[in-house]
């Protein structure tokens, strides 16, 4: 077990290069299962624990996977199982994204129930509703969801009750090989859905409207492997934008797609931060005055992302005045508040809102990441806290950030990652959401 040790007080400066987006690469890897012919080559695949986990899952189903220099090569012609085991699905909910591709290609899938996690219950009813509308029979028992289609899936009109990212992706993948046309209404509009649609279209799918609330998929008979580059990670970009703003630094975030970052850019500007957009990245400039308090409400894209809520909260702690952060996407995504309070933060929770008294001094402390973004947010708070902050629970952070401490250090932060032996009980308590670290070279040998 490792911890990150941060000493506050340095303004960050320089250039940071983004990795590929976790939330784009995971569904793309799942979609690669749809290829009955050819090999998929996925560039800019970030070296993250979640990527290793989904690759292990693909391998457990007979696919051939290799990873070198951030490029994944997936041969799904050797697929010989339609089962996703509890051991792998429990490490990462996104494993459930193999259900749509398996069902469409093989006519059946047996996937362990993904269950809840640290940020909420996260049901999958909208995914299942979509599969059923396409003709699948669903059975749930003994901790597994079994989906079966006696014949090829049929295109259908599916209205999602919630614009769910995962349900939109799972249904889009299943519909790519279905007979006839599927229309997903109230579809999620996240950039990662557009990236997945581009990958599927590269495989031979016929998808239009990804990135809008209405996606139209004309099913095709066969899909082939293709070559694709994953989009840069907008949440990693937003995290570094806040790292710059919180320290009053000047950082260029190379590779950032400004359009994907509009809600974050808008909030930073409202707070008095100068943000310069350009074609090859985004720059957060050295700030002149104090930060202003603002209110933030998380919403599906293009609203403010829930995956940036805790990092934004860290920034608001350093602003002048009172801010209100309202979380509308997940029902339990304020677990980091207690950890911030260990650092002398003044935050009160009222229902789905957190009321933040900004401007007080943050003090270095021992804290634990409660989910992956909370891990990053605690490090950000540590960058401006008085004294030393130690952040534990890094298995969360490793799911979604490549070399976080190293990237911050290259910008001048006093951050290091060190090995510690954590108390056994603390590790066991967290087993439901803790991804088990896999030996990368061993898994991809």
Ligand X SMILES: C=C(OP(=O)(O)O)C(=O)O
Of 60-68, 124-132, 275-283, 425-433, the segment contacting ligand UD1 by CB under 6 A is 124-132
Residue 190 C-beta: closest distance to ligand X, Å:
11
Nearer to ligand X, 153 or 315 (CB): 315
Per-residue tokens: 51: 């990527």
Residue nearest to ligand UD1 (CB): 166
Does 94 contact ligand X by CB under 6 A? yes
CB of 130 to ligand UD1, least distance (A): 9
Q: How many CA atoms lie within 13 A of 97 on its CB side?
A: 31
x/- letters, 88..117, toward ligand UD1 (CB under 6 A)? ------x-----------------------
Residues numbered 160-219 forming contacts with ligand UD1, rule: CB under 6 A: 162, 164-167, 188, 192
Task: Please identify, using beta-carbon distances, which residue of 380 and 411 lies nearer to ligand UD1.
Answer: 380
**Residue 14 CB, nearest approach to ligand UD1 (Å):** 27
Binder among 90, 127, 260, 373 for ligand X (CB under 6 A)? 373
Which amino acids are annotated as binding site for phosphoenolpyruvate, given as ranges? 22-23
Binding site for ligand X (CB under 6 A): 23, 93-94, 119, 307, 372-373, 400
List residues with catalytic annotation: 117
Binding site for ligand UD1 (CB under 6 A): 23, 26, 94, 120, 122-127, 162, 164-167, 188, 192, 306-307, 329-330
Which amino acids are annotated as binding site, given as ranges? 22-23, 93, 122-126, 307, 329
């Amino acid at each position: 077990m490792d911890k990150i040790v941060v000493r506050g007080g340095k303004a960050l400066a320089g250039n940071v290069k983004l990795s590929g987006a976790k939330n784009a690469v995971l569904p793309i890897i799942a979609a690669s299962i749809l290829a009955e012919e050819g090999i998929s080559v996925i560039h800019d695949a970030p070296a993250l624990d979640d990527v290793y986990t989904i690759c292990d899952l693909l391998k457990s189903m007979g696919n051939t996977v290799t990873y070198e220099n951030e490029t994944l090569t997936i041969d799904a012609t050797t697929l010989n199982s339609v089962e996703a085991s509890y051991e792998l699905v429990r490490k990462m909910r996104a494993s459930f994204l193999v259900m749509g591709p398996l069902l469409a290609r093989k006519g059946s899938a047996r996937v362990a129930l993904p269950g809840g996690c640290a940020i909420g219950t996260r049901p999958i009813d909208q995914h299942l509703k979509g599969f059923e509308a396409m003709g699948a029979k669903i059975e749930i028992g003994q901790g597994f969801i079994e989906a079966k289609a006696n014949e090829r899936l049929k295109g259908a009109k599916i209205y999602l009750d919630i614009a769910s990212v995962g349900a939109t992706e799972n249904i889009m993948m299943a519909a790519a090989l279905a007979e006839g046309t599927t229309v997903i209404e109230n579809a999620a509009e996240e950039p990662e859905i557009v990236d997945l649609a581009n990958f599927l279209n590269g495989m031979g799918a016929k998808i239009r409207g990804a990135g809008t609330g209405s996606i139209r998929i004309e099913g095709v008979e066969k899909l082939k492997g293709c070559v694709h580059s994953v989009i840069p990670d907008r949440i990693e970009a937003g995290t570094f934008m806040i790292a710059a703003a919180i320290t009053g630094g000047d950082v260029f975030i190379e590779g950032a797609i400004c359009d994907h970052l509009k809600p974050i850019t808008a909030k930073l500007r409202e707070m008095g931060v100068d943000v310069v957009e350009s074609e090859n990245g985004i720059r957060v400039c050295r700030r002149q005055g104090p930060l202003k308090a603002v209110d933030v409400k998380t919403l599906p894209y293009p609203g403010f992302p829930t995956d940036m809520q805790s990092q934004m909260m860290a920034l608001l702690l350093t602003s002048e005045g009172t801010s209100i952060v309202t979380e509308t996407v997940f029902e339990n995504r304020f677990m980091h508040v207690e950890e911030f309070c260990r650092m002398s933060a003044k935050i009160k929770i009222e229902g789905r809102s957190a009321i933040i008294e900004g401007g007080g001094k943050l003090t270095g402390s021992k804290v634990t990441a409660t989910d992956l973004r909370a891990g990053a947010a605690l490090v950000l708070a540590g960058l401006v806290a008085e004294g030393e902050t130690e952040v534990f629970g890094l298995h969360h952070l490793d799911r979604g950030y490549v070399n976080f401490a190293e990237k911050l250090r290259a910008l001048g932060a006093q951050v290091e990652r060190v090995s510690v032996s954590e108390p056994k009980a603390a590790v066991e308590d967290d087993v439901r959401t803790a991804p088990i670290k896999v030996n990368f070279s061993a898994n991809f040998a």
